[in-house]
Every structure is written in structure tokens, then in C-alpha cells.
Amino acid sequence: MFNHPLNLPAIAIAALFSFPSVVNAANHAPLERWRSYAGVSWDSPQDGQISAPFSGSVNAPIAGIHFDAKGRAFVSTPRLVSAAAPATLSILDTTVQSGPARLTAFPSRLANAVNSAPEQNLRNVLGFYIDRKNNWLWALDMGFVAGETESPVGSQKLLVLDLDSGRTIKRIALDGVADRKASFLNDVVVDENRRVAYISDSGSRSAPENRVGVIVVDFATGTARRVLDRHPALQIEPGVNVVSHGAEVWPGKPLLIGINGIALSPDANTLYWTVTTGTRAYAVPTAILRQPASTDVQIAEQIRDLGRVGGNTDGIVTDEKGNLYITDVTRNGIVRYDPKTLSMSLIAASEDIHWPDTPAIGPNGDLIFTSSRLNDHFAGAVKSGEERYDLWRLPLSASKD
């Protein structure tokens, strides 16, 4: 996921109909642009007509995307540039094949209201996780919205919602482990069997001295613990600039994002992460993270540097075989890390991809990731009405080194 040091993050979209395949460089897997949305809409279509796009679509990019066991696509539209979007967490209608993406607020518009009950309502969701085992959605609420320099009391939280009814199963407060002014709660991944969540805090609102960290949340006790606070392996790398399509992102006001993408191995025994304003990927055993008495020094001793990714990064995800997939925003594609061979390789790329962001494993096992020129959106370089949010598909069975 992605964000501007002053307030911004992001990503893009979701869906399921085919566009012509893109042929990539030799030895790269075939990429397919699955859908290209012209904005977003929360309005119901009338008399069979396509709904008009939301007037603020250019400031409401679809960010995270995940699929439940039924194949429903859930998406986030973070309120980072504008707080006007009717919802920050929605279900995407994947049957729509043209016009704006059709969204339905989840669990409801009222539950997404900005101006009431900040400790209960969803105000600003970027990262979330679909828990297929328990049929839950874990929504990470950053708390603050555009225009706020501080998150309201109680607004930084992890809400666990029932996927069918939308009922709140549990609310876990994060104010005690996240700074209401400095934190940027970016992404979340969940050990579904142990019911333990891991949250990446990019600390981007405190840039250039990012207050980075990992937050470990235990569902059973409802408690949260912060570890690796400001550790160098989570921090922006000195001298590194974020580059997209051959150009530095925001010259003179550099993009400063620490730990961003976060993922678990299939057995949930290894936690992976990457740093956007950086070049490398890391891993640590989750056993040490789950020990309440473990110190940051003890945890740091077990961190493994997995090597250089090849470009700046955003989101990450693992498949059922344990391969780690990383979006490479510099080379416009997907990097795969194989934990068996310890190899890192660019497996797919296209010049038509602008800022590959959130990757997810789709219902059929293919990799789906979003692309929406987010660096241009947050720089104000995309005019209203010209926004387009792409969804790309990579058949993992076809990907070869």
C-alpha cells in the first residue's frame, strides 16, 4: 500500500472481465488486464442505466482488494485526499463490465460514517484481511481522515466483522500502541488458526523520522503489542528515492514510506515485509513475535534479510506453496521470492502498469493486483474524469523464471 508523507497512501481496484493479454519480455509470464474502471460509484443504477461516477472519484481510488470464500471482492477506498467518499470499505460488484466500479458500503453506509462514533465506525481503511477460516473481515482503521492532523481518540482500531451479516465480532483499540499523530497503519495480515493479526505501521506521518513498527494483536485477549519500534529493518533506507516509470516520485518532496506490505507464510510461522522507500525484503519467525516477554533486541536477532527486490515496492502476498509475490513499482511488475531456493526474480512486467499496488490471490488461485497511477493521483496530475483504475491478472501456473 502507498502513502504521501503528509497524509497520503493507496492502491487501486478490482474485478473480473477480460481485456487482451499483454505480452511481456522474454521469459516473463503473460499478464492480462482484467478490468479498467472509469471511477467509482456507490449509487444504485436506475432503469438499467449505468450509474454516474461519484463526483470525487479522482480522490477515492480503490485501494486494497481481497476475495472471500464465495468469490466476493471486497475493496477499500481510503479517505486520504478527501473525506467525502460515502464509504471506506465496500463490496465490488464484479458482474459490472463497463463504466464506474459499482460499490456497496460494507457493512453499511452508517457504519462508514465519518462524523460520528469514531471509536465504532470505519473512518479510514487502507489495509484489511479476509479470514476465510472464520468467515471474518479484519478491518484496519487508520483513524484520521484527510484534513485531520491527529486521529480522534479511539479511532485507531482493528474491527473484526462477520462477512455475512456485517456484525462487529470484536473491536480492538490501537491507541495504546499507535501514535495518534505519527502513525500510518498501513496493512494487516492474520494467522487464521491462532487468531493473531500483524499490522505494519509505516510511520509516514512522522517522516522523515518515521515512527515505524509492527503491531501484534491477539483476538482472544483483545490486546495489542508494539514491537521493533523504529528498527532499521522497517525504516526508510537513507539515500533511496522512490522511482516509477523512470522518474523520481515527487521530486523535492520525496515519498518516505517505511514498512508497507506484510504477509505470512502458509503455516503462519514466518512474517514477511518490505519497505517502499527501500530496496530489500525481510522475514522473522512469528513464534518470537507471539511471546509477550520477548524484547526488541531478541526479535531483531532473528530477522533475516532476504535480499534486494530489484525496485521499490508496495504490497506483498504469499501463495499456498509459500512463494512470496511483491509488487515492484519501479519495474512495473511482479517479483517472486522462492523460500526454497532463496531466489528473487521479476516474473512479469508491462509498461502499461502504473504503480502496481495491492496483490491478492483470487478464487481460482491466480494473482490479481491493482494499478491506478496512484503517485500521479496524489500529486494532482490526474484530472477529474480521467481517472482509471486497472485490475491485472497473472496466472501463477504460467509464471516461470
pLDDT band at 356 (very low <50, low <70, confident <90, very high): very high
> How confident is the model at residue 45, as a pLDDT?
77
Domain assignment of residue 51, yes or no: no
Domain assignment of residue 304, yes or no: yes
In single-letter form, the type of residue at position 256 comes to L
- 139 by DSSP, 3-state: which? strand
Domain assignment of residue 107, yes or no: yes
Domain assignment of residue 49, yes or no: no
Instruction: Give the pTM.
Output: 0.91
Q: Which domain holds residue 63?
A: 2-43+57-114+122-398
Mean pLDDT of the region 132-138: 97
Q: Cα(45)–Cα(48) distance, rounded to whole angstroms?
A: 6
In the chain, % of residues over pLDDT 70: 91
Domain assignment of residue 105, yes or no: yes
> How confident is the model at residue 398, as a pLDDT?
60
Q: Is it the case that residue 166 has pLDDT exceeding 60?
A: yes
> How confident is the model at residue 25, as a pLDDT?
43
Which run of H or of E encompasses 376?
helix 374-378
CA angle 96, 371, 363 (to 5 degrees): 55
pLDDT band at 311 (very low <50, low <70, confident <90, very high): very high
DSSP state of 144: -
pLDDT band at 374 (very low <50, low <70, confident <90, very high): confident
> How confident is the model at residue 29, as a pLDDT?
67
pLDDT band at 159 (very low <50, low <70, confident <90, very high): very high
Task: Report the mean per-residue pLDDT for the chain.
Answer: 89
Which residues have C-beta within 8 Å of that of residue 238, sequence separation ≥ 6?
none
Kindly report the CATH number assigned to the domain that includes residue 215: 2.120.10.30
Is 61 in contact with 374 (CB distance < 8 Å)? yes
Total domain count, the chain = 1
Is 326 in contact with 265 (CB distance < 8 Å)? no
> How confident is the model at residue 11, as a pLDDT?
31
Domain assignment of residue 192, yes or no: yes
Q: Is it the case that residue 222 has pLDDT exceeding 70?
A: yes
> How confident is the model at residue 133, as a pLDDT?
96
Mean pLDDT of the region 132-153: 97
Domain assignment of residue 52, yes or no: no
Which residues have C-beta within 8 Å of that of residue 375, sequence separation ≥ 6?
2, 242, 244, 249, 250, 255, 329, 354, 355
> How confident is the model at residue 28, as a pLDDT?
64
- Cα separations in angstroms, 396 against 6, 24, 101, 310, 346: 37, 15, 26, 20, 13
pLDDT band at 284 (very low <50, low <70, confident <90, very high): very high
Domain assignment of residue 323, yes or no: yes
In the chain, % of residues over pLDDT 90: 76
pLDDT band at 63 (very low <50, low <70, confident <90, very high): confident
